[in-house]
Amino acid sequence: MTAHIEHTQSATPAPGPAPRVDSEVGPLRTVLLHRPGAELKRLTPRNNDQLLFDGVPWVDRAQEEHDAFAGVLRSRGVEVLLLGDELVRALHDDRARIAGVHSAVDERRLGIHLADALRSHLSGLAPEALATILTSGMTFEELPAAEGASLVRRMHQPGDFAVDPLPNLLFTRDSSVWVGDRVAITSLAMPARGRETALTDLIYAYHPRFAKTGRAYGAHSAPLEGGDVLLLAPGVLAIGVGERTTPAGAESFARSALADGLAHTVLAVPIAQQRATMHLDTVCTMVDRDAVVMYPAVRDNLFAYPVRQDGSGGVRVSGPSPFLEAAAEAMGIDRLRVIDTGLDAVTAEREQWDDGNNTLAVGPGLVVAYERNVETNARLEEAGVEVLRISGSELGSGRGGPRCMSCPIDRAPLV
């Protein structure tokens, strides 16, 4: 488990008003993406399951698809930050380099001797070279020539990882989440993703642009992933609880958001604990102020436990209530519209698996979606939602769509 970096506010403040995110659909101004790189080249048929990919992507094509995704966002006036670039920028701070090296070197795997040698090697690298290793890892054969003999080194296969690669950095949604003007560093459930938050933590701690950004959630360790967090409306959060976010993660985040005044209602929403529905955003995303696109199979059986402050420093849990009703009530609207994809069960299941329900709103009624989900996209358009289609044949092999691949940092308020 990564210890969170104590947040300091010493670097140069960013100019302009502080970024904030109060909804899922307010006009998107700034977003954090990760252009996939050498870390995807580490995937093989032997490790892809453990590294949470369903195959071995063609990396050049994945990069082209990602560039097109970023291009679509830029063409709509969105500022796109790339995690790799921002990581290098943050690593210019000595404290960030120490934190990055600390997170990457695992004494349990390497033993004290090799761990010390690797730490001193990494500490001497320039920010760019260090960032490459922090994201794409290092095999035993890539280790620098060690002083003296190392049994660990001799006994490992050359291609074994001394530092694990992080191919799922692509899914920036999960490793940090903004609520209001604060950022929460999450706590990722799967071992293959655990170290991602060490990188988001150090970016937000030491990148000059984020020097004034406050933290939400603090140093909680109960699993909470950003794909499970939906900002239904200002002050209203929904948190999926399933394969990734646990009941303890949802309760800790709810208590912290309520206590910090970031929300007045948090809806804890149980979802099936299986890969196809690993996060709430794999079955439901917002496409307009009052509308969601939702996997038909869950439409009538999603429910929610509303959590609110009890007025004396604690929380009150009510429900369970039908999700759509609980959400509308908390949002102060008559009803939350569900774009009825009207699909037969097989098509709906195929398009859900291919992230048809995982759209990224660029503004109210304007979303980015994978082009392959022909039927779902057609229904969205029939309902008046503009769909910006992107190709995801390679990107999708990690099982994540446009919402998973994006962490909004600044959205204009909804008027």
Q: Which residues bind ligand CIR (CB under 6 A)?
A: 52, 168, 171, 173-174, 193, 227, 278-279, 281-282, 398-400, 404
Comparison of 140 and 217: residue with beta carbon closer to ligand CIR = 217
Cβ 354 to ligand CIR shortest distance, Å: 12
Cβ 34 to ligand CIR shortest distance, Å: 12
Contact 180, 21 (CB under 8 A): yes
Comparison of 89 and 279: residue with beta carbon closer to ligand CIR = 279
Angle at CA of residue 308, ends 188 and 240, nearest 5°: 30
- The DSSP annotation for 256-269 comes to HHHHTTS-SEEEEE
Count of CB atoms situated within 10 Å of the CB of 152: 18
Residue at token pair 């759509």:
324
Cβ 278 to ligand CIR shortest distance, Å: 6
Give dist(CA 2, CA 5) in Å, integer: 9
Comparison of 91 and 277: residue with beta carbon closer to ligand CIR = 277
Give dist(CA 359, CA 368) in Å, integer: 6
Q: How long a stretch of residues is the chain?
A: 415
Active-site annotation holder among 105, 404, 407, 409: 404
To the query of whether residue 404 is one of the catalytic residues in this protein, the response is yes
Cβ 282 to ligand CIR shortest distance, Å: 5
363-390 in b/e form (b: 16+ CB < 10 A) is: bbbbbbbbebbebbbebbeebebebbbb
Comparison of 84 and 398: residue with beta carbon closer to ligand CIR = 398
Comparison of 99 and 166: residue with beta carbon closer to ligand CIR = 166
Instruction: Tell me the C-alpha to C-alpha distance, in Å, between residue 155 and each of 109, 141, 151, 158, 402.
Output: 12, 12, 6, 9, 42
Cβ 167 to ligand CIR shortest distance, Å: 8
Cβ 364 to ligand CIR shortest distance, Å: 21
Q: What is the CA radius of gyration of the chain?
A: 21
Best CA proximity match to 52, nearest among 242, 239, 195, 191: 191
Count of CB atoms situated within 10 Å of the CB of 342: 13
Comparison of 356 and 400: residue with beta carbon closer to ligand CIR = 400
Collapsed DSSP state (helix, strand, coil) of residue 32: strand
What single-letter amino acid sits at 73? L
Comparison of 143 and 362: residue with beta carbon closer to ligand CIR = 362
Cβ 237 to ligand CIR shortest distance, Å: 15
Give dist(CA 409, CA 404) in Å, integer: 14
Give dist(CA 212, CA 190) in Å, integer: 30
What's the first-to-final CA gap in the chain, in angstroms? 41
- Active-site residues, by number, are 404
